[in-house]
Each structure stands twice: as C-alpha cells, then as structure tokens.
Amino acid sequence: MHLTGSLQRPVNFPGSSVEMSQGRVRIEGTELTVVDLPGLGSLQPISPDEKVTIAHLRGDDGARPDVICAVIDASKLSVELQFVSELTSLGLPMIVALNKNDVARAEGRCVDPAALEAEIGIRVIETDGRSPRGTQLLGQCLVRDEPACPKGLPRDLIEEIADRLQAQSEPRRTLTTRLDDVLLQRWLGLPILALVIFGMFQLVYSGADPFVGWVEMAQGWLSGLVEGGVGPGALRSFLIGGLINGVFSVFVFLPQIMLLIALIAILEGTGYMARAAFLLDRTLSRFGLSGRSFVPLASSFACAIPGILASRIIDNERDRIATIVVAPLMSCSARLPVYVVLIGAFFPLAWSGLILFGLYALGIVVAAAVAWCLRRTALKGGQSTLLMELPTYQRPSLRVVFSQVWIATREFLILAGTIILATSVVIWLLSYYPRPEAIHAKFEEQRRSLAATVLDPTQRNRQLDKIAAAEAAAFSEQSWLAHIGKAIQPAFAPAGFDWRTTIGVIAAFPAREAIIPTYGILYSLGDIDAGAYDLASLDKPVEEVAGLRSVLREARRMDGRPALNPLIALALMVFFALCSQCVSTLGAIRRETRSWRWPAFTFGYMTVLAWVGAVAVYQIGSLMGYGLGS
C-alpha cells in the first residue's frame, strides 16, 4: 500500500488478502510492478488463496517474479525464517522486509536488521506496515542494488540464528498477553464479544441519529423551495418526488454506513477480529463451519462480496461453500438504511440498539441453521480444524480506517447516483402516470364549489391542500405502479404488507436501499385515502408531517387502517434481514463456486426464508393482538 500508494485493505488478521493484486510505481525512473500475494506459511499450499501464491512464485501463470520481497514478522522470527529458508529453494532473487519490529521491541526481542542480514545473507530492510517508514529505502534497494539469489538457508540453523538475534533480553509479559488473559478467558470471552458487537450497533444508531434529522430538514427545505418556484404538475412532482425524495432520502444514511465501516475497520485493525474467530470456533464447529469461517462472515457485515471472496482462506471445500452460501445472511451495510427508517418511525429510541442487534443476531442464527442443514445434506463430509495465528494487538492505522470509510462512501454515492437514481425515476414515472382527465375534472369541480362556499382565505387554503392531497392519492391509486403492486400484493398480504410496501420490496431486489426512495416517492404522491375523502373532514388541519419516518407513521390504506405499524415494520425488517436482494452478491457467488447452482440456491432459499420469516412475525404478532385487525 505504501510502496505503490494504492488503496488496499490491510487488516490485523491472517486471511485478509486472498487474491493477487498489483500496482505500478516509478522509482528513480524505473517502473516497477508490485504484486501483492496472499500470505503463506509454507510452500505446500492447502487453501485456494495459497495455491494462487505458489502458482505465481513458480511461474505457472506465465509470469515469474523478478524479485521476491518476503515480508516477515519480527515478533515471530524463527517461524518466519523457516519460511524464508523454503523460499530460497525457488532460486529467485530475494529481499526481506522486516515488519512489526516495534512489536518485537515491546516484547524485549527487537531484531537488528543489519545483524539479521549478516546472518542470513539476504538484504533486510526494516518496514512498518502502518506507516511509509522504510518504504523508500525498500524501493531504492529494489532498483539500485539488484537483489541477488540467496544461498540456501539451513533450516537446522534457524532456531540458533533467531535465538542469537532475539535472546538479548528476557521476553516481557506484553500488553497482548495481558489483554488475551481477559478477552480470551473461558467465561468472559464470549460475553465481552457480545458486548463489543452490541455497543457497536448502539453507537452506529445513536451516533448518527442527529445527522438524520438535519438531512431530513434540509430535504424539507429543498422541497419547499421547489414548491415555491414551480406550480402543481408533473415537473414539480418529478423534482420533489422523483429527485429530492428519491435520491436525497438515501443520503440520510451515509453517516451510519460511514460509522459502521469505521468501527469494523477499527476492530479489524486492533487484531480483535482474530480473537473473535478463535472464540467462536467451537460454536461455529457445532454448525458444521470452522473458526476460519468467522473471517469471511465478519467481513460480510460490511459487504457480502469481500466476505465471499475471503472464504478462500478455508481449505475444506465443503466448509468454504457452506460459508459462501450463508455469508449474505450477515446484515450488510445496505440493510442499515431500511432498519434505521423503520426503527426510527415505529420504535422508541431506547429500543433502537436492541432491535438492530436482534436483526443482526437473526442473520447469524439463521446462517448457523442453514450451514448446519447443508453440512448434513448437500455438503456432507469431514470438517477442518482451526489453525490460526493470533496477531499482536495494535493501534489501528487511521489511514487504513479513513481509506475504508472513503471506499464505502464512494461506493454508496456511486450507487445512489446510478442504480438508486434510475430506480427512483422509473418508480416515479410508473406511479405518476396515467393521468385520467376524469379524476382531474372531479377534483376541479370540488375546488370550484369550495371557492364559492368558503370565504375565509386561511380555511380555504387549508381545504385546498386537502383536496390536492386527495387528488394525488386518487391518481396514485390507479397508477401503473398501483396496478402492478396490487397484482403482487396478495403474495405478501399474509405478512401484512400493503401494495406500496410490496412495490418497495420488489424495487429493492436489484439493491436493498431502493425501498427507501420508493417509499419517499409513493408517500409524497399522497398518503391520504382518496376513497374516504369527505368534505366534512376538511375543517381538520392537514397533518404537518416532515421526513419519511413521520410520513410512514401517518400513512393509511384505502380502508383507513394504517399502512404500517410496529408489527408490519418488524415483519418487513425480518424480510430484509433474510432476503437476497443484491445482484452483485449473486455474481460473486457464481464466480467463487464456478457454478450457477449455488447462486440460484442462495437466491431461492433466502427469498423463501425471508417470506416465511415475515409471515411468521406478522401472524404470531397478530395472534398476540399487535396486528392491524380486520
């Protein structure tokens, strides 16, 4: 990362890099191609990512490297030198980058690079993965010194060399060992892990909540501006409903996504994620997965795609496929906007963290159950054991955290500006047209009769607003979108969804977040029941509603019952927690399993589970008296 200046994803646990990536850098006029390979422990590959590295080092892919730069961990010198010794057998020029010497120093086992160089006969440069220190010298050595092919490094001498270089002082009891005594303690480890994850969700929700209010206010202000400048009609409706409510409503969630990604990057950077894998190994093995599955599954909380690719660190093919198939059940950041809107609209703030935690936990529990079933049926076979190196705890690099947040932000903005914009525009078009003259004429007639009978301007304006809302609702109820929604709605009726929510669910299949602008558009076009429109009710003031959350609380169906209530919101969130609504994820599964069978299976089982989950929540809740009633 520091050598080429490109953004990579360095985290503090093994298995984070599963594929080759390359960057180009010009040093003193010479252009170098730097290839980053997945880490190895020996030249005997076990998992798919290790096979990629060995194939490249041996030149099986047609491009043998000119120089190997072996990045070794100074705090595990003897183990790392064993591997360097193996690498010398490849007969390639080599240079050693001595990393994590600060950790070795803290343990009282600092390595002198010059002494190490003299002992092993290979050029050694001290580097620091968290900063550019040593990178310039490393680059200069690569172009100036022309590293030589090392002579063999006898394996029986390695322990002796490591002892000579590191035995100057007694190993100290480090912060890592002291922390691990508590964090990996038999009875404390798992409760602490649960607390950390719960705290993370509470922080994601409450930390970004004020920002949501500000963005909603800004959205209201912009809509007001358009209302002031453009008269009623298609253009005003498109600008407010299609553009402002559509795209703007998803921007509200940017702070939550940024906070979630930052917290995950911090946990990865500290080395705690590797402990979480260790802590959960026994639990995961009960469900037919290995502790190694935790790394891809944890990555999937940010986005399922890198999670699915990270499954390459799992050597057992059946474990790997089971992990890939359940990874999309981990609630990714795309689900967050849906949760935030619905929790904010229907549940008290004090419950928000708990409900969010529950939805994430639901994904984990269902993933475990699906993995358990798969490993006893379609993927029956032996299990792998966890052999994982626990990294030293370290301060996460701010550069890495910022880069992760920036990547997520850029991705989100691109998604909002492309797929979500297009979905919003199409949804607006289908929900605004057709515009039958008969409906317009009926409401024009009512406007004329009102002008003749009500003389007080304040009262007249208030009543005109109500007529306009009822007219918009009448148009909306006979729109193309309403016809589509009402045709599909019976399938979702057992979950309590009305036609608008059904359309939201369908619009969310290419990208989950699309349900938010869909709601924004559908409810901005009228949330008052046109059928129950009645001149007698015109004396009551129009509800002053601002922001999507308030609109969702106030929305009514044609029969006057609420469009959504806490139970339907919960059923909808369960649907989103379990449903496979991301085309890119299915593409990644196809790529990793080299078959259409697994993405088709994933889409099928998740959609069925989501429907069953939502129906179960609504039906059980209704039996307990929380439903809409009839």
Partner 1 sequence: MTGSWSFTWQDPVALALVALALLAAWWLRRRLGRGSKCEECPAKKDHV
| List of residues contacting partner 1 (CB under 8 A) | 7-9, 18-23, 35, 56, 61, 63, 230-231, 233-239, 242-243, 303, 305-306, 309-310, 403, 407, 410-411, 414, 417-419, 421-422, 425-426, 428-429, 432-441, 478, 584, 588, 591
Q: Render 88-148 in DSSP notation, one character per residue.
A: HTT---EEEEEE-HHHHHHTT----HHHHHHHHSSEEEE--TTSSTTHHHHHHIIIII-PP
Contact 366, 609 (CB under 8 A): yes
Q: Locate 596 and state its tokens.
A: 């259409």
Angle formed by the axes of helices 421-432 and 480-492, nearest 10°: 100
Nearer to partner 1 by Cβ, of 356 and 516: the residue is: 516
CA–CA separation, 405 and 257 (whole Å):
8
Nearer to partner 1 by Cβ, of 7 and 362: the residue is: 7
Which residue, among 44, 37, 52, 99, has the nearest Cα to 71 in the 3D structure?
Answer: 99
Taking the complex as a whole, the smallest distance from the CB of residue 602 to partner 1 amounts, in Å, to 16
Nearer to partner 1 by Cβ, of 406 and 596: the residue is: 406
Contact 386, 290 (CB under 8 A): yes
Contact 38, 19 (CB under 8 A): yes
Nearer to partner 1 by Cβ, of 310 and 334: the residue is: 310
Q: What angle (nearest 5°) sits at the alpha carbon of residue 571, between those of residues 574 and 500?
A: 115
Q: What region does 479 belong to: left with phi over 0, alpha with psi -120 to 50, or beta? A: beta
Taking the complex as a whole, the smallest distance from the CB of residue 214 to partner 1 amounts, in Å, to 26
CA–CA separation, 523 and 526 (whole Å):
5
Nearer to partner 1 by Cβ, of 486 and 561: the residue is: 486
Nearer to partner 1 by Cβ, of 323 and 403: the residue is: 403
Taking the complex as a whole, the smallest distance from the CB of residue 40 to partner 1 amounts, in Å, to 16
Q: What angle (nearest 5°) sits at the alpha carbon of residue 195, between those of residues 189 and 196?
A: 90
Nearer to partner 1 by Cβ, of 230 and 467: the residue is: 230
Taking the complex as a whole, the smallest distance from the CB of residue 66 to partner 1 amounts, in Å, to 14
Nearer to partner 1 by Cβ, of 35 and 464: the residue is: 35
Taking the complex as a whole, the smallest distance from the CB of residue 203 to partner 1 amounts, in Å, to 24
Taking the complex as a whole, the smallest distance from the CB of residue 435 to partner 1 amounts, in Å, to 5
Angle formed by the axes of helices 336-346 and 254-270, nearest 10°: 120
CA–CA separation, 553 and 525 (whole Å):
16
Taking the complex as a whole, the smallest distance from the CB of residue 75 to partner 1 amounts, in Å, to 27
Taking the complex as a whole, the smallest distance from the CB of residue 133 to partner 1 amounts, in Å, to 22
- Max Cα separation, the chain? 104
Taking the complex as a whole, the smallest distance from the CB of residue 326 to partner 1 amounts, in Å, to 18
Q: How far is CA 337 from CA 178, 250, 398, 419, in A?
A: 39, 7, 26, 16
Taking the complex as a whole, the smallest distance from the CB of residue 242 to partner 1 amounts, in Å, to 7
Nearer to partner 1 by Cβ, of 102 and 411: the residue is: 411
Nearer to partner 1 by Cβ, of 152 and 417: the residue is: 417
Cβ-Cβ contacts under 8 Å for 630 (sequence gap 6 or more): none
